[in-house]
């Protein structure tokens, strides 16, 4: 069986969602590695015996070391409408993050201005909000479980979509993500992943106009069963 089949967590005539593995890239980059979008095209072409080209549109991306739900459009109509949802912030993403340090409060709202350094492929918090390129980044976090093996599980809801936003803002708060050497973690994870997982995606279906919620089970063994999939 094509391994992509095991990653599919939602599919209809218009959309297909996968539980992305750490190390997979969503879209092509300078590494030249085959991106997930091309693997999905090949899978659909083979499974459905399509004679021509297969359409698969990228709606959003996840960083290479991040796991979790990523969704693609199977039609140009769906891609256009999903892009509109992303632009209007009606595309709601919830993440789970494992951090070493306990946050200063059980829940909170973070607002920072971020600057992206293209050369370093890294974002930094800046206090100079007038600096060219400084962009407002907003998220909410909630402590779900504390001190299992010395680590803590946070739920993070994004309100903006900045480069490395969760990684940068949590590190700035004093809570770098487990395995994320770039943002201050003490050591890497054995598989080169970082312990950040896109857990939930919620949006209005672009054609049926029904509310859709897609959950991707997280891989963090120390927090098995948290959160419950029915949350």
12 is catalytic: no
Counting other chains too, the contacts that 7-11 makes at CB distance below 8 Å and 24 or more residues apart are 9/69, 9/214, 9/215, 9/216, 10/71, 10/212, 10/214
- Whether the Cβ atoms of residue 171 and residue 184 lie closer than 8 Å to each other: yes
In the chain, the DSSP E strands lie at 8-11, 15-20, 57-58, 67-73, 91-99, 107-117, 122-126, 135-148, 151-158, 196-204, 211-215
d(CA 199, CA 61): 14
Nearest to 41 by CA among 31, 56, 23, 57: 56
Tokens describing residue 201? 């995606």
Nearest to 201 by CA among 4, 74, 59: 59
DSSP one-letter code for 75: S
Choice among 12, 29, 33, 63 that is catalytic:
63
Q: Which residues are catalytic?
A: 63
């Amino acid at each position: 069986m094509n391994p992509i089949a095991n990653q599919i967590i939602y599919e209809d005539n218009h959309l297909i969602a996968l539980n992305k593995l750490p190390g997979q890239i969503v879209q092509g980059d300078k590494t030249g590695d085959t991106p997930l979008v091309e693997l999905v095209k090949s899978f659909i072409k083979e499974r459905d015996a399509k004679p021509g080209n297969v359409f698969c549109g990228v709606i959003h991306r996840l960083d290479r070391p991040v796991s979790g739900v990523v969704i693609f459009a199977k039609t140009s109509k769906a891609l256009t409408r999903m892009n509109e949802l992303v632009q209007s912030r009606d595309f709601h993403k919830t993440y789970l993050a494992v951090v070493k340090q306990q946050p200063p409060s059980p829940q909170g709202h973070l607002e920072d201005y971020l600057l992206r350094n293209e050369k370093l492929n890294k974002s930094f918090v800046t206090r100079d909000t007038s600096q060219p390129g400084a962009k407002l980044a907003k998220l909410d976090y909630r402590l779900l479980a504390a001190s299992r093996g010395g680590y803590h599980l946070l739920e993070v809801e994004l309100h903006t979509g900045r480069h490395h936003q969760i990684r940068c803002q949590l590190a700035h708060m004093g809570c770098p993500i487990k395995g994320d050497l770039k943002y201050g973690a003490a050591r890497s994870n054995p598989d080169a992943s970082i312990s950040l997982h896109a857990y939930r995606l919620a949006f209005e279906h672009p054609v049926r106009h029904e509310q859709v919620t897609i959950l991707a089970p997280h891989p963090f063994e120390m927090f098995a069963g948290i959160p419950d999939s029915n949350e």
